[in-house]
Chain A
Amino acid sequence: MALTGIEIYKLLPKTNCKECGFPTCLAFAMKVAAKAVEISLCPDLSEEAKQALEAAARPPIRLVTIGAGERKVEVGNEVVMFRHEKTFYHPPGLMFRVNDTAAPEEIAKLVEEVASYSVERVGMQLELDGFAIDNKSGDAAAFANCAELVESKTDLPLVLMSSDPACMSAALEKVATGKPLLYAANKDNSDKMVELALKYGCPLAVYASDGLSELAELTEKVSEGGVEDIVIDPGARDFAQSLTTLTQLRRLALRKSFRPLGYPIITFPGEAAASAEEEALLAGQQIAKYAGIIVLDRFSPSVAYPLLTLRLNIYIDPQKPIQMTPGVYQIGAPKETSPLCVTTNFSLTYFSVAGELESSAWASWLLVCDTEGLSVLTSWAAGKFDAEKIAKSVKEFDVAKNISHRSLVLLGKVAVLRGELEEELPDWKIMVGPLEAMDIGGYLKQHWTA
């Protein structure tokens, strides 16, 4: 049973020492209760309190870091089954498989393409996360060389895939400083793999495909061996199997607090797919349904872009909607006589307005004001979308420079701003647009004359 902020506070030293980074013990306790920070940040915790708190506050799914440096990937520490219950915190890492049997030029090319891939969406740069080097050859030297080659080309995190501890050891000698994920310990090699993981301080994947009991048994063994940073692979590959198994794993961790399976999950959607499309769709399902690391076999920008977009969609905090960057947006190719509309920077508002303008073929200017991501009515009610704010944005983004007219269409149910806005912008004609985005096209057709 999770502790409330007050219960946690009672166990804290109540010194308000600020060492944890929070101004008061209470503020810290509230954050711990929300599972947003670890209790270990408190320097003066009594042993007794520590035990009580750690037991209660330990995340049901362990947070595991793969890689080192800026581009390391953190996965796990999820607290809900459904994103609407709170949010999904750690987006799964999208890694690409490199076979050690491939020609070096081919490898270099793929690494170059993946590592440099970047696409912009709602003001964010979306990127891919790393490489999984597969010891297809079964040869230690080939594996090590391949790992070394990849590492020389990128600082993205790596997964080392080999069930042979000797091969794994050879590769680790070359690339261990990057803290790669070792894939994988199985029932036959786990002692050796644990040894390697401990020796190099790397996270270790555990693989067992004969049922979750066997998997749990193995993770307990690995954990008893001293490795805490575990990633699990239950061997589920196809759509239905993946959905079922990953759902069961998430439920066991969250609903049953079942520690032996409270780890992030690694998946290989390419292994059950006959085409890039199928692989992408399965990866998409795994983004939404509970994967931590997704290893893909096929790279192309036309697959990467929708996958990254989906990941952004699913992992956005539902209580903190995506914000558009405030400014003037061009819809189509607007001219100086094109309409100027104004709305908020709540992404959904922006999308519906922009979508309607676009599909009704009105090339136009869309002024997006900073309302901290709130929708029109909410931001208006909160005083974040008022005449002053709009007037300020009109000046700040020098809206006038693009257009020959001085008419501004207010969208949404904020006609009440008109009077004040006329005072704030005396040279402008303030027009009150439709209440719903879907009526914009018709409204402009009827009223726009510039």
Chain B
Amino acid sequence: MSRFIAASAIRGSHYIVDKAEKMLQDALEKLGPDKPIVFVDKEGAGTAYYFPTIYGYLGHKIETLGDMPPVIEQCKKLLSPVPNEHLWLPYLGETADAGVATFFAEELIKGIEFAKGEQPEVHKGYQFNGPISDAQTRSWGIKLVDGSMPGFAAIIGAAKSNEVAVKIVRELQSKGQLIFLSSMSNGRSVVDQLLEEGVELGYGTFTVPYGTDTESTVYAAGFAARAAFSFGNVAPGDFRRMLLYNKFRCFAFALVLGPMDDLKWATGAGAITYGFPAVCDTLVPQILPIGITKYEHVVSMPFDDIPGRDDLERAERLVEKCIEIRGIKIIIPKVPIPVAFGPAFKGEVVRRADLQTEFGSPKGNPCFEWLTMKGMDEIDDGQIAVVGPDLDDFEAGSNVPLGIVVEVAGRKMQKDFEPVLERQIHHFCNEAEGLQHQGQRDITWLRLSKRAFDSGFRLRHIGDIIHTNLHNMFGAIVDKVQVTLYTELDKVSQLIEQAREVYRERNARIAGLIDEAVDTFYSCTLCQSFAPTHVCVINPERVGLCGAYSWLDCRAAFEINPTGPNQPVLKGRCIDPEKDEWEGVNQFVYEHSQGSVDRFTIYSLMDAPMTTCGYCECVMIIIPEANGVMVVSRDDPSDTPSGMKFTTLMASVGGGRQNPGMMGHGKIYVVSDKFISVEGGLRRVVWMSKNLKEEFGDQINAKVEQEHGIPNFLDMVADGTIATTVDELLPFLEQKGHPALTMEPLI
């Protein structure tokens, strides 16, 4: 806590409490203690919550002037001496108390003004709104809770110019923010600025002018307190819950325009105590650590130092920062492109005859997509740039190079989510009418139809598609998205090399991501609808048995949807390092299988293997006669030496039961280093579906050769064309000298 801020705020609180006390004495003398007071807006609509801020903190009801003195006493108890210039203390508690006292005093002052008939304020002939009525609080409260109104902003003071004031308000409105206006700086109020520019104010435009003094800012606190009563089930006086509600549920912040003074600091301290951070457009000490508010407390952005071409752009940045520090997530209702967008267009094919422009393709120009993570301050949300010629510059039907570089930033973004998000580009693009996307990474291939081009579709719209959808679907981890599209061959060729370097790093990272390196696995219970006791436990070295979910996918899915089917499974204490049995895993599986599975080893086929839902890519089963195991793929209709085809095996293994000696798994598991390691790994495999041998042959041969010095291992492994019964299998294995025959007995 800055001593400067503490000192200012405490000074401000002394001043305002003193002012309230004097006003109250005066009013009591003139109006008497029985003078009733009700807070109403300019239409006369009121509140049933007395002085809502005071009522929220203290549970104290003020109905007349005579109810006020105890609150003044309470304020005085909260005041502490102004910090000595040479004494350095944390001051946090003192400053927070000063903020609370300030809110109380400000609300009392407003109340006294009501008693005197001076509220809502009339200023230069303009009727201000005054406090918000209960009816309006309810209606907006619902919007704040359901997310259709992401938050509210209290603008305090006046902007650098009328133009900037209008821009700030428009930007906030475009982001769905409710806006409250109060106070002045240098004798000007933001309300004056907006009125001069003809901006309409009032409930209808979600922009409410409270008053020209700093004290009227307290109406925002009263609004928040009532939201907490109505929507947080917070009881008046239960201030702890009220503050928590405001911190976590009410996405409000203060935007302080123009120079600060002691009262503004004191009011700011009140806001911070409420959990509402402040952004100032002047140079002030910052309070960055996270604590009372969700992110930073006070952020200073001296207006003229904000990067930007002009004041308008600076205003835009300022608003962006506010949204960011309050952690407000923006939903963009419609993808801003000139063609239709939706799942209906996913399967659409753009044929050569309809082709306007093609990017990439196996024989064409290079084309790639690369999503990369940046720092929050390194990119601008929504910036979409096209570097090089746009579609108009190419003849219809041409093949063009394209580089799509997506930069994202987010407070919860992690490097490991890059590939997860990058893969979404495919899905997003395909939902646009007339845009067809295939492949990924450096084999991306896009086609755009003539109709889409004629409708006005240009390259930047690819950026819009990605920007909008990343926000809407991955808002939990993404706060900013910036897209650059490159179409010059030189540049694309140069960038594609950089991207390839990243793809290689990612591959290496995934290859290097070993079970031992993590303390958390992930569950997948997506299939419990038909296999109620099945729980997939997904570790870095084994994908989910449907093949669709890797450990990284699950981790991202959990961040995006913390209540979804992918939950973290803490490994806990190790029970058996060789079989990789963990206390935490056992407990998780027990709880989530409705008590039907109590033990679960990660690496063994014979002892407590993973259960199977009924939708696996492969089934593995022992062939006792050969002392080995066989692996059959879903795509293989062949008979197998187990006496059962894939479908029969699937039916036996599925349904969430544990079957030692038998297990479903994803096909890529066959090249995992942990492939049934307890039973001896790949050397145990005596039969494997032909399609798997073809797909993973090189990798399997290389692994077995490297680990066991056996070259061309797969030549020793039978498939459906070699053996479909044990009687055919055994002579084949004998002839080839398969290692399983001489390994330690499986049973």
**Physical contact A–B (CB less than 8 Å):** yes
Contact B349 A30 (CB under 8 A): no
Contact B661 A5 (CB under 8 A): yes
Q: Chain A interface residue count: which class?
A: 35 or more
- Asked if A305 CB lies within 8 Å of chain B CBs, one says no
Distance A423 CA – B343 CA, assembled complex (angstroms): 20
Contact B642 A24 (CB under 8 A): yes
Contact A23 B347 (CB under 8 A): no
Contacts of B643 in A (CB 8 A): 16, 22-24, 26-27
Distance A420 CA – B436 CA, assembled complex (angstroms): 13
Contact A416 B346 (CB under 8 A): yes
| Closest beta carbon of chain A to B211's beta carbon, Å | 49
Cβ-defined partner of B642 (8 Å) among A27, A86, A415, A435: A27
Distance A30 CA – B623 CA, assembled complex (angstroms): 13
Contact A435 B624 (CB under 8 A): no
Interface residues of A in 1-41 (CB under 8 A from B): 4-6, 9-10, 14, 16, 22-24, 26-27, 30-31, 33-34
Contact B726 A24 (CB under 8 A): yes
The chain B residue with its CB closest to the CB of A414 is B347
The chain B residue with its CB closest to the CB of A319 is B655
Contact A415 B345 (CB under 8 A): yes
- Asked if B644 CB lies within 8 Å of chain A CBs, one says yes
- Asked if B697 CB lies within 8 Å of chain A CBs, one says no
Cβ-defined partner of B644 (8 Å) among A6, A16, A27, A34: A27
Given A24-B643, A85-B532, A319-B654, the answer on whether A6 and B622 have CB atoms closer than 8 Å is yes
The chain B residue with its CB closest to the CB of A416 is B347
Cβ-defined partner of B343 (8 Å) among A4, A10, A26, A435: A435
Given A4-B659, A6-B622, the answer on whether A34 and B652 have CB atoms closer than 8 Å is yes
Distance A85 CA – B348 CA, assembled complex (angstroms): 42
Cβ-defined partner of A319 (8 Å) among B531, B648, B659: B531
Contacts of A416 in B (CB 8 A): 346-347, 430
Contacts of B635 in A (CB 8 A): 383
Distance A264 CA – B275 CA, assembled complex (angstroms): 66
Given A22-B643, A417-B347, the answer on whether A319 and B614 have CB atoms closer than 8 Å is yes
Distance A9 CA – B726 CA, assembled complex (angstroms): 15
Distance A421 CA – B348 CA, assembled complex (angstroms): 10
Contact B622 A26 (CB under 8 A): yes
The chain A residue with its CB closest to the CB of B727 is A16
| Closest beta carbon of chain A to B612's beta carbon, Å | 12
Contact A378 B615 (CB under 8 A): yes
Contacts of A382 in B (CB 8 A): 615, 634
Distance A84 CA – B642 CA, assembled complex (angstroms): 28
Contact A5 B662 (CB under 8 A): yes
- Asked if B31 CB lies within 8 Å of chain A CBs, one says no
Interface residues of B in 319-375 (CB under 8 A from A): 343-349
Contacts of B727 in A (CB 8 A): 16
- Asked if B625 CB lies within 8 Å of chain A CBs, one says yes
| Closest beta carbon of chain B to A305's beta carbon, Å | 28
- Asked if B668 CB lies within 8 Å of chain A CBs, one says no
| Closest beta carbon of chain A to B686's beta carbon, Å | 13
Contacts of B494 in A (CB 8 A): none
- Asked if A332 CB lies within 8 Å of chain B CBs, one says no
| Closest beta carbon of chain B to A372's beta carbon, Å | 9
| Closest beta carbon of chain B to A425's beta carbon, Å | 13
Distance A418 CA – B351 CA, assembled complex (angstroms): 13
Contact B344 A23 (CB under 8 A): no
Contact B660 A6 (CB under 8 A): yes
Q: Please tell me the number of chain B residues within 8 Å of chain A, measured between CB atoms.
A: 41
Distance A23 CA – B623 CA, assembled complex (angstroms): 13
- Asked if A318 CB lies within 8 Å of chain B CBs, one says yes
Distance A22 CA – B654 CA, assembled complex (angstroms): 19
Interface residues of B in 592-614 (CB under 8 A from A): 596, 606, 614
Contact B348 A6 (CB under 8 A): no
- Asked if A328 CB lies within 8 Å of chain B CBs, one says no
Interface residues of A in 391-450 (CB under 8 A from B): 413-423, 432, 435
- Asked if B747 CB lies within 8 Å of chain A CBs, one says yes
The chain B residue with its CB closest to the CB of A6 is B661
Contacts of A16 in B (CB 8 A): 625, 643, 726-727
Contacts of A22 in B (CB 8 A): 643
| Closest beta carbon of chain A to B497's beta carbon, Å | 32
Distance A99 CA – B312 CA, assembled complex (angstroms): 95
| Closest beta carbon of chain B to A22's beta carbon, Å | 6
**Which among B531, B624, B634, B641 has the highest number of chain A CB atoms within 10 Å?**
B624
Contact A422 B659 (CB under 8 A): no
Contact A30 B652 (CB under 8 A): yes
Cβ-defined partner of B347 (8 Å) among A10, A26, A31, A420: A420
Interface residues of A in 185-221 (CB under 8 A from B): none
- Asked if B203 CB lies within 8 Å of chain A CBs, one says no
- Asked if B530 CB lies within 8 Å of chain A CBs, one says yes
| Closest beta carbon of chain B to A329's beta carbon, Å | 24
Distance A424 CA – B622 CA, assembled complex (angstroms): 42
Distance A319 CA – B345 CA, assembled complex (angstroms): 33
| Closest beta carbon of chain B to A383's beta carbon, Å | 8
Distance A432 CA – B349 CA, assembled complex (angstroms): 13
| Cβ proximity bits B616-637 to A, threshold 8 Å, 1 near / 0 not | 0000011111000000001100
Contacts of A26 in B (CB 8 A): 621-624, 642-643
Distance A418 CA – B726 CA, assembled complex (angstroms): 44
Contact B615 A30 (CB under 8 A): no
Contact A4 B660 (CB under 8 A): yes
Distance A31 CA – B623 CA, assembled complex (angstroms): 16
Contact A422 B349 (CB under 8 A): yes
Contact B747 A6 (CB under 8 A): yes
Contact B652 A14 (CB under 8 A): no
**Which among B346, B430, B606 has the highest number of chain A CB atoms within 10 Å?**
B346
| Closest beta carbon of chain A to B202's beta carbon, Å | 36
Interface residues of B in 638-695 (CB under 8 A from A): 641-644, 648, 652, 654-655, 658-662
Contact B660 A5 (CB under 8 A): yes
- Asked if B725 CB lies within 8 Å of chain A CBs, one says yes
Interface residues of B in 4-42 (CB under 8 A from A): none
Interface residues of B in 420-435 (CB under 8 A from A): 430
Distance A417 CA – B348 CA, assembled complex (angstroms): 8
Contact B661 A418 (CB under 8 A): no
Cβ-defined partner of B624 (8 Å) among A14, A415, A420: A14
Contacts of A14 in B (CB 8 A): 624-625
| Closest beta carbon of chain A to B2's beta carbon, Å | 54
Contacts of A31 in B (CB 8 A): 652
**Which among A23, A31, A435 has the highest number of chain B CB atoms within 10 Å?**
A23
Distance A418 CA – B345 CA, assembled complex (angstroms): 8
Contacts of B747 in A (CB 8 A): 6, 9-10
The chain A residue with its CB closest to the CB of B724 is A23
| Closest beta carbon of chain A to B194's beta carbon, Å | 42
Distance A300 CA – B531 CA, assembled complex (angstroms): 38
| Closest beta carbon of chain B to A29's beta carbon, Å | 9
Contact B346 A415 (CB under 8 A): yes
Given A16-B726, A24-B642, the answer on whether A432 and B344 have CB atoms closer than 8 Å is yes
Given A16-B726, A319-B530, A378-B615, the answer on whether A86 and B655 have CB atoms closer than 8 Å is yes
Contacts of A383 in B (CB 8 A): 635
| Cβ proximity bits B149-187 to A, threshold 8 Å, 1 near / 0 not | 000000000000000000000000000000000000000
Interface residues of A in 70-109 (CB under 8 A from B): 84-86
Q: What 8 A-B pairs come out closest when comparing CB atoms?
A: A23-B643, A419-B349, A418-B347, A24-B643, A27-B643, A416-B347, A432-B344, A415-B346
- Can you spell out 5 A-B residue pairs with CB atoms less than 8 angstroms apart? A6-B606, A26-B621, A85-B533, A86-B655, A414-B347
Could you tell me which A residues sit within 8 Å of B by CB distance? 4-6, 9-10, 14, 16, 22-24, 26-27, 30-31, 33-34, 84-86, 318-319, 378, 382-383, 413-423, 432, 435
Could you tell me which B residues sit within 8 Å of A by CB distance? 343-349, 430, 436, 530-533, 596, 606, 614-615, 621-625, 634-635, 641-644, 648, 652, 654-655, 658-662, 725-727, 747
- Give 15 new A-B contacts, CB below 8 A, not counting A4-B661, A26-B621: A4-B659, A5-B660, A6-B606, A6-B622, A27-B642, A27-B643, A85-B596, A382-B615, A415-B348, A417-B347, A419-B347, A419-B349, A419-B436, A432-B344, A432-B347
